[in-house]
């Protein structure tokens, strides 16, 4: 159907569009409420997820702290076990070392004494000592000590290749003293591995 309106524009009644009254219709209200409800629901879900994430992060930090403490405890237990093994080996080898130190004492000639015994990681057993200077006789005594230590099968089973590392003569008042250092590598044992 065709409608013809011959009235001038100023006298014409405005025609209502079918879209304009839509905002007043119940369907528009339902759509607006549904959209607002969806936004509120998504926002509340987001808040719940954020809360859960914060709780999980707190638990994660607590677990990381406990894991660090557990790792430290495991490392400490392992160190203690290693020390226990070392102490057990030392206890087993104590008799052997006391015998070797006794052999060292027995091989020491008169006029020679020790000032220090130590274990060095590179040099092995380090023996420092001195001898009373008696016109060259002290050098013979130190050489005899080294030869007897090398010749002793029990001592050389633990300390190999005893050598004179240094010798020097020192004058103290009216007495000449010869200071010496002997070194000998340790034979590999469970302790040195």
Question: Each residue of 94-129: pLDDT tens digit?
Answer: 656 778 888 888 888 888 899 998 888 788 889 999
Cβ-based neighbours of 192, under 8 Å, separated by 6 or more: 186
Which structure tokens are listed for 69?
């403490």
Locus of tokens 């936004």: 39
**pLDDT for residue 4:** 76
- For the cut 60, the answer to whether the pLDDT of residue 23 exceeds it is no
Phi first, then psi: give them for residue 57, nearest 5 degrees.
Answer: -65, -40
- Nearest CA to 160 out of 114, 116, 123 is that of 123
- Number of neighbouring beta carbons within 10 Å of residue 70: 11
Nearest-angstrom CA–CA distance, 54 and 153: 72
- For the cut 80, the answer to whether the pLDDT of residue 137 exceeds it is yes
Nearest-angstrom CA–CA distance, 114 and 160: 19
Strand partners, 118: 126
- What percentage of the chain carries pLDDT values higher than 90? 32
Nearest-angstrom CA–CA distance, 64 and 67: 5
């Amino acid at each position: 159907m065709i409608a013809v309106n011959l009235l001038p524009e100023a006298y014409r009644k405005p025609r209502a569009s079918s879209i304009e009254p839509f905002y007043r219709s119940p369907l528009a209200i339902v759509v607006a409420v549904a959209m607002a409800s969806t936004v509120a629901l998504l926002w509340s879900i987001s808040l719940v997820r954020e809360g859960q994430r914060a709780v999980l992060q707190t638990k994660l930090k607590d677990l990381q702290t406990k894991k660090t403490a557990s790792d430290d405890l495991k490392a400490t237990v392992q160190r203690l076990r290693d020390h226990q093994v070392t102490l057990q080996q030392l206890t087993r080898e104590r008799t052997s070392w006391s015998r070797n130190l006794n052999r060292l004492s027995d091989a020491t000639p008169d006029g020679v004494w020790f000032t220090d015994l130590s274990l060095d990681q590179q040099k092995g057993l380090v023996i420092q000592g001195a001898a009373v200077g008696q016109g060259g006789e002290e050098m013979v005594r130190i050489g005899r000590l080294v030869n007897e230590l090398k010749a002793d099968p029990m001592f050389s089973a633990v300390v190999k290749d005893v050598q004179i590392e240094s010798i020097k003569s020192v004058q103290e008042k009216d007495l000449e003293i010869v200071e010496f250092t002997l070194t000998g590598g340790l034979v590999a044992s469970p302790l040195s591995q």
